[in-house]
Amino acid sequence: MIVVTGATGQLGRLVVEGLRKQGVKFAAGARNTAADLGVEVRELDYNRPETLAPALQGASKVLLISGSEVGRRVAQHSAVVEAAKQAGVQHLVYTSAPYADTTELVLAPEHKATEEAIRASGLPYTFLRNGWYHENYVDKIKAAAETGEIVGAAGDGRLASAARRDFADAAVAVLTQPGHENQVYELTGDTAWTFAELADEIAKVADRPVTYRNLSVEQFQQYLVEQGTPPEAAGFVAAIDANIAAGTLGHTPGTLRKLIGRPTTPVSVAIEEILAS
């Protein structure tokens, strides 16, 4: 049986949907056991370790969807890993970050530490090193369609994003097909784009001029603060743009496409869906 952690999150719900279509036996782990997911929901709270062992009881495979609380994730994930080991789980699948063990990406250290904990546990694993989601830029795309401008500090750096559903489909494939144990998959979209190219795509859909205004990292951080973003969050967002400018998120190995058996969703399609919603 499969257990999916974080099943009520945006990625988790898509994985649950995909597993239901496959007709496999699985349970959803979530803090809210009243969530209507159409399957058995087991209480699983990263911040309450006592919920982990009961939630993983009887599981042969576990999808550990990384937590969202930056700074707390290593402890949270390590507790799940230990519970999985105690439960006799035979395959642990973890949603990590691109090139987690070598990258300068600002959010990678916690993922690297989690991967190390999983390897040390001796559990067979698969690391799904998910790249950027198109959906990370919903607000930016909507704002650009209204104002005619995207502001950032990514320069000409390329970003190989894909749809969240693409990454969910990859997780479903790994959970339901044999032969993925002890594999590390770098998952990205088929095509990498610049923010200037993103602006052009938004302009086509919005039917108005849209331009990209590039700032220094420091200027962008100050811009975000002036727009109401808390300083710490602004620094994080600006650092991500610096990573993009350095080419950290522009790789296109084609692994996601192979796993899901189809091309990844183009960013142009995401823009159309976002602006139509």
- Domain with residue 88: its CATH number is 3.40.50.720
pLDDT tens-digit series, residues 177-194: 999 999 999 999 999 999
The pTM score is 0.96
According to DSSP, the β-strands at 183-187 and 2-4 are unpaired
Same-domain status, 136 and 121 = no
For the chain, state the CA radius of gyration: 19
CA quadruple 122, 126, 131, 135: dihedral sign: negative
Average pLDDT over residues 12-20: 97
Same-domain status, 103 and 198 = no
What sections of the chain are H helices per DSSP?
10-22, 52-56, 73-86, 108-121, 138-147, 164-176, 195-206, 217-226, 231-245, 255-260, 267-276
**By residue range, what is the domain housing residue 93?**
2-130
Q: Does residue 175 form part of some domain?
A: no
Count up the domains in the chain and report the number: 2
Q: Does residue 98 form part of some domain?
A: yes
Same-domain status, 124 and 141 = no
Task: State the average pLDDT for the chain.
Answer: 96
Same-domain status, 98 and 158 = no
Residue 98 phi/psi, 5-degree rounding, is: -55, 130
Q: pLDDT confidence of 12, banded at 50, 70, 90?
A: very high
pLDDT tens-digit series, residues 133-179: 999 999 999 999 999 999 999 999 999 999 999 999 999 999 999 99
Q: Does residue 52 form part of some domain?
A: yes
Q: Does residue 177 form part of some domain?
A: no
Q: Does residue 219 form part of some domain?
A: yes
Same-domain status, 43 and 138 = no
Q: pLDDT confidence of 34, banded at 50, 70, 90?
A: confident
Under DSSP, is residue 231 helix (H, G, I), strand (E, B) or coil? helix
Same-domain status, 148 and 71 = no
- 6 vs 70, residue with greater confidence: 6
Instruction: Give strand pairing partners of 94.
Output: 64, 127
Burial of 43 (0-12, 13-18, 19+ CB in 10 A): middle
